[in-house]
Amino acid sequence: MWQSVLDRVLSSLIAQGALRVTYPNGETCLYGDGSAPAPEIHIHDEGLVARLCRNPELAFGEGYMDGTLTTGDSSLEDVLRVAIRNVAAGNFPPVYHWIDQVRFMLRPIQQRNTTGLARRNVAHHYDISDEFYRLMLDEDMQYSCAYFSDPGMTLEQAQAAKKAHIARKLCLKPGSHVLDIGCGWGGLALTLARDHGARVTGLTLSQNQYETARERAARAGLQDRIEIRLQDYRELDGEFDRIVSVGMLEHVGAPHYREFFTKVANLLHPDGVALIHTIGRNGPPTNQSPWLNKYIFPGGYVPSLSELVQPISYTGLWNLDIESLRLHYAMTLRCWRENFEANLDRVRAMYDDRFIRMWRFYLTICILVFEERDQTVFQFQLGHRRDAVPLTRDYLYSENDRLRDAAE
């Protein structure tokens, strides 16, 4: 029964391109417009067929992780690209749209992000081995979208350019006190303190990141300029000349956006500048991927632009600038995946094959949503005063800055 249901679903879904599916009973079906080459999947378990009908995205990821769904001679990327293009075209049967609407109504419950839940969610993803992340990331351990001001940049150069771009948007002055919300392993804090003369207070909820960032600051002789705290931003008081947050808003959850931006406004000096860098959607609000939510980022959510502009407006802060970095994250993720695959033997010494397939699926699906769907990266430059930054973007792109970035 379930095979016939999945057959009808795929016949409706795959309208652009083609997909070849081999079922557990050995039957092979070709779906789509017949264009070649058609990537293929092999389903090895009858139970997975039923799960693919009930919750396609979750079941596909789980099947790939468990090895009950394989891609034969095709690449995972080619298979997922066909699926994602057709989902984006709205070819799913109506019942799945109704299920999505129910899930959308449940978002306030799923994204409830108390301080206790926030710590557990962060630990799930970031408190695995630092050594694993070192195999995948650049030397500075920047785990967020790089800035490819030149498409030929290496990952190291693009991450340095990202930090330089953010520093210019912060309009730093010597001695500026910067709050870094979600400071990761401390790379941005080190750059702002060492290269721009700032004092930095960094916040993280990850025990691993806290220990590593403190160790890096001490090793660089900057412990007098950098303070790393294991603390939720909601528990912080004080006033800061500059506030920066890179890749943290994705963990806040839609019900807490007004709370987040109100806290930023309250912590920011009247003459200050804040820079919020986050993955976002160039489309209407929707649901988070059930697979990503279960296995990679519990409690996470990628907001649409409309979901962010409104809570910012309630704070009275000025949107001094909004920039969309459209394909930079896809390029970043491709570098991470290349590093991951190049270090597979060392990863396998740490984790089992299921973890490896999970991580490969995560990196690949994320590349494709930036290339095929509506995901981008937004940088919001905020301030209490409309003249807190120069009136044009010329200060971001001067020739001297470009030469400095190239040197870095």
pLDDT tens string 299-350: 889 999 999 999 999 999 999 999 999 999 999 999 999 999 999 999 999 9
Mean pLDDT over each residue of the chain, to the nearest integer = 93
Exposure string of 75-101, with b = 16+ CB inside 10 Å and e = fewer, is ebbebbbbbbbbbeeebbeeebeeeee
For 302, list phi and psi in degrees, rounded to 5: -100, 115
User: Which stretch of 40-44, 125-129, 279-283 has the lowest confidence by average pLDDT?
Assistant: 125-129
Q: Mention every residue, 6+ apart, whose C-beta is less than 8 A from residue 351.
A: 132
Cα–Cα distance between 63 and 379 in angstroms, integer?
A: 36
User: Which pLDDT score is estimated for 408?
Assistant: 54
For 358, list phi and psi in degrees, rounded to 5: -60, -45
User: Which pLDDT score is estimated for 320?
Assistant: 97
User: Which pLDDT score is estimated for 402?
Assistant: 52
User: Which stretch of 185-189, 223-227, 259-263, 394-398 has the lowest confidence by average pLDDT?
Assistant: 394-398
What is the arithmetic mean of pLDDT over 48-71?
95
Sheet containing 268-281: give its strands across. 226-230, 199-204, 177-181, 240-246, 268-281, 375-383, 318-325
Cα–Cα distance between 376 and 249 in angstroms, integer?
A: 14
Give Rg (Cα) of the chain: 22
Q: Report the range out of 91-100, 112-121, 127-136, 188-197 with the highest average pLDDT.
A: 188-197
Distances (CA, A) of 253 to 67, 117, 325: 32, 11, 21
Q: Is 285 helix (H, G, I), strand (E, B) or coil?
A: coil
Q: Which band of pLDDT confidence, cut at 50, 70 and 90, is reported for residue 399? A: low
Residue tagged 């090793």 (tokens):
219
Task: Give CA angle at 89 (87, 95), nearest 5°.
Answer: 55
Q: Which band of pLDDT confidence, cut at 50, 70 and 90, is reported for residue 128? A: confident
What is the arithmetic mean of pLDDT over 273-288?
94
The percent of residues above 70 in pLDDT, for the chain, comes to 97
Cα–Cα distance between 40 and 275 in angstroms, integer?
A: 44
User: Which pLDDT score is estimated for 257?
Assistant: 95
Q: Is 253 helix (H, G, I), strand (E, B) or coil?
A: coil
Exposure string of 211-235, with b = 16+ CB inside 10 Å and e = fewer, is ebbbebbeeeebeebbebbebbbee
What is the arithmetic mean of pLDDT over 52-80?
95
User: Which pLDDT score is estimated for 90?
Assistant: 75
Q: Is the pLDDT of residue 401 over 60?
A: no
User: Which pLDDT score is estimated for 250?
Assistant: 95
Q: Is 100 helix (H, G, I), strand (E, B) or coil?
A: helix
Q: Is the pLDDT of residue 403 over 70?
A: no
The active-site residue out of 145, 171, 183, 366 is 366
Read off the pTM: 0.93
Cα–Cα distance between 146 and 252 in angstroms, integer?
A: 21
For 285, list phi and psi in degrees, rounded to 5: -60, 145
User: Which pLDDT score is estimated for 221?
Assistant: 97
Around 147, how many Cα atoms within 13 Å sit in the side-chain half-sphere? 18
User: Which pLDDT score is estimated for 225?
Assistant: 97
User: Which pLDDT score is estimated for 163?
Assistant: 97
User: Which residues are bridge partners to 18 per DSSP?
Assistant: 32
Q: Which band of pLDDT confidence, cut at 50, 70 and 90, is reported for residue 108? A: confident
Indicate if 366 belongs to the active site.
Answer: yes
Distances (CA, A) of 316 to 177, 238, 252, 262: 22, 19, 20, 9
User: Which stretch of 128-132, 145-149, 226-230, 269-273 has the lowest confidence by average pLDDT?
Assistant: 128-132
What is the arithmetic mean of pLDDT over 352-381?
97
What long-range pairs does 93-96 form, CB within 8 A, spacing at least 24?
A: 93/8, 93/9, 93/12, 93/13, 96/56
Cα–Cα distance between 272 and 216 in angstroms, integer?
A: 27
Q: Which band of pLDDT confidence, cut at 50, 70 and 90, is reported for residue 266? A: very high
